[in-house]
Chains A and B, each alone.
Chain A
């Protein structure tokens, strides 16, 4: 088992490197001149040339990539084209904000989805099962901003319980922070929960139909023990996978939700940077998002390996 895990770790590191190449290629090889983007349309050719030399744009591609990657490893991400501030300063706190919002949503949505998934699997075919199924389908199909706007309409405009905009500032108390971020977090919970619940149901039902579970029933065991002790461990791997997939989805779903609630996170920041065509900011944000995505997938795979009873107890 440890060999499998080591292999997956190696693959994860390799993927991270490939992704860095891809992000670099996407920003550097595609047409679109950074120098003229900085200086504007009216720049003289001489000024463009000087700037290109300063930015190292005349160096060979591989050299530029190595310099860029070295800068990344040492925390020097260059300066924003729009404001001139160091990218690492601009991105750090916003990445934290985004991760905190995603974590807030995940802490609610994962346990809720798994418990509900187990319940609908146990009561399969009941009214409860069918109602949850329809609700899940609705949540999968509805876009984030639609759910977000509905929540704003109900909870902040009509009931006045929570603020419509997620204003956060450094040093605010935990209570206030929770009040400000509950609506965006709730939106993310609704969007991600449905799929996790359905997958839990499917995986558990697949195991419940096997003969060893029937044996457990026939032994006269009670339902909680049959489901939790006998069936669930064998359904764990696909559940962990879909949970991780949805947490990874949170990382990008957060971009839209941040725009709805005007939350000061990396997603909204990256969108602004794209609109301003601020290359260093976009590069760094893209790499941060992609790295989070790759890391989460890797953790999920490793957890799935570790949770697989057949690999845990080799014959």
Chain B
């Protein structure tokens, strides 16, 4: 991997800052996420640098609490989608036959429907709760991971060293671990970044629609929705959480751009 460029350093710095929020956000918050301590949409004052939200809660503290929720939910969903998608994709590539055909056709069909619409259908049936939210997004997203890891594994599986290992009588698990995984790690890591970006925006979008993370928990998408009316009065309240979302996605994009440099994958290709 080549040395980080200037923009890559900016991206890495952004990611580091958000990592701190993810781990320690609520501990850094000066006030609780439910404490009503000011007037609705109150202006910034000493001790409250970003002012107050629609219920008179400290904006900065809500942002710090919400970060853990927004990032945590998306991270959990992406991790599950990779944990499901990668083994399935690798197995489909190695075994082929009916296993591959059935899974691939199923995935193709699911991908024919826009993710947002599929998610809305599932949330209608099951109602919106945290586990449903995380699992729905993870499973819908795992279709994309499945496709990529299947193609990557097929590429490696056709190479001579993999053929040799197979003829030597190595099992599938050994093939995946020793031959395929090391050779496809870097595109998968880049994909992880892009998928995280997508999922993060998606979770925030669902919350913005009122169907994602439910109150009383603070989360950035929901905060944009709750404070939205303030924009009509020229107040910045909804822009803080929206900017928090936007800056993280820009940061991830900068880092992924650097990791993918020289490869020709256009950004946002599979949002």
Contacts and interface: CB of A to CB of B under 8 A. Distances in A.
Q: How large is the interface on B (under 10, 10 to 19, 20 to 34, 35 or more residues)?
A: 35 or more
Contact of B242 (A145, A274, A293): A145
A232 interface: no
B113 A138 contact: no
Contacts of A23: 113, 121
Contact of A248 (B114, B121, B245, B264): B114
Contacts, number: 150
A270 B228 CA distance: 20
A32 B123 CA distance: 10
Q: How large is the interface on A (under 10, 10 to 19, 20 to 34, 35 or more residues)?
A: 35 or more
B250 interface: yes
A299 interface: no
Contacts of A259: 208-209, 225
A34 to B, nearest CB: 9
Contacts of B205: 143-145, 256
A271 B210 contact: yes
Interface in B103-162: 109-110, 112-118, 120-127
Interface string B49-87: 000000000000000000000000000000000000000
Interface stretch (B32-40, B182-190, B231-239): B231-239
Given A26-B118, A164-B231, A199 B109 contact: no
Most buried by B among A141, A146, A152: A141
Given A150-B239, A195-B267, A256 B122 contact: no
Given A22-B109, A138-B250, A153 B231 contact: yes
Interface of A: 15, 18-19, 22-23, 26-27, 30-32, 137-138, 140-146, 149-150, 152-153, 156-158, 164, 194-195, 198-199, 202, 242, 248-249, 251-252, 255-256, 259-260, 270-271, 273-275, 277-279, 282-283, 286, 289-290, 293-294, 297
Given A15-B112, A198-B266, 10 more contacts: A22-B112, A26-B121, A27-B125, A31-B125, A145-B224, A153-B231, A153-B234, A157-B233, A252-B117, A271-B211
14 contacts: A18-B112, A32-B125, A141-B249, A141-B250, A143-B204, A143-B205, A143-B208, A149-B238, A150-B239, A153-B231, A157-B232, A195-B266, A275-B210, A293-B112
Interface of B: 109-110, 112-118, 120-127, 197, 201, 204-205, 208-211, 224-225, 228, 231-234, 238-239, 242-243, 245-246, 249-250, 253, 257, 264, 266-269, 271
